[in-house]
Structure 1
């Protein structure tokens, strides 16, 4: 007899990632939490989750810029998750003319190549079982584009198209693929803004505030639930009516 459903989450040590992990644990999922360098944060998250919710939680370290080694580690897991949440990503601010080839390769590896390969690895068991949920954490900039964040916008825009194309391919197998495109969320990704810039940003948002990681996590929770079975191939914005 099968136990709890299993969710595989990348980028679990970040603000949105840890909120998603906590929410899925509260929903009763056993978790496999990927991280790269944030071992202390993710270890603390694991202990909190296990103590509070009584679910199984294992950690998975991989540097997604090293695709070969990362996929070898994935293969060694022998895991068949019911839910996959692609949340890893990096961002940098600057002119496109200043982006180095190394930066380009790094962000594409983390943001496009690894989500693609991870999905390839986990899909067969979902197709066989005729059930599964794949969630991609995108960005508002993947929908509208952002000056001085052309590379980040490109990666997130690619993920949005990935969601739409994959949903069409796997819908006949009763698998749902959706994207979540957050706007301005209170996480360290906004640390490059000073107080005045944050105030100006907040003024631009009709809701009059930044979003929270917990609000993003609640949307993910709904999209992986049985209540969202007919929602497929959608990019759901969560942005306080900013750029709606």
Structure 2
């Protein structure tokens, strides 16, 4: 990370919070009843919700349009159904993407009647509006995240095994043992890097980030991250020119 890099720190305890009983949510960016004019988005990254959903509960059929929606279960299993005809159950190790495009409806429920579900739901503004809706899901080999970045989301037309979305954005996950240092180089000029610590503790530059802390970085081509403890990290490489 060069000296001219610009950073934004979003500590876990600074996030918006909502407790609906069956749903306990933390919002990194303004969402629903939480609004902060300084937390509206990070470039194309519009929503980063950390949801805990009670056993048997969930969201009934509801609409979306012109948004890229990425769901990453962390604990438990999510039952999905949508107007495109997809029904599935996704769990930790899986990633799901939807390009809402010109419009779709879907429902999301905790698939368990006994255990809670924890997931990340992430929304990005799309590159092109009013496209035909698209859906994808993949179970990734978590061993490929050990000690290195595994690309799980990439733009339409990408030739890798990553899920494809309607935006020039890349998501990568990595699991790093204490003391491990890794670098990441952004994949598109003009993109910013948003690092979210799912578990553990890391340092990025001079910043120490703990569980559910995040840092947004612009004006740099690459970063170095060191695990101060065993860490599970999501990095989002997203356009800033939206």
Q: TM-score, normalized by length of structure 1? A: 0.30
More strand by share: 2
Q: TM-score, normalized by length of structure 2? A: 0.30
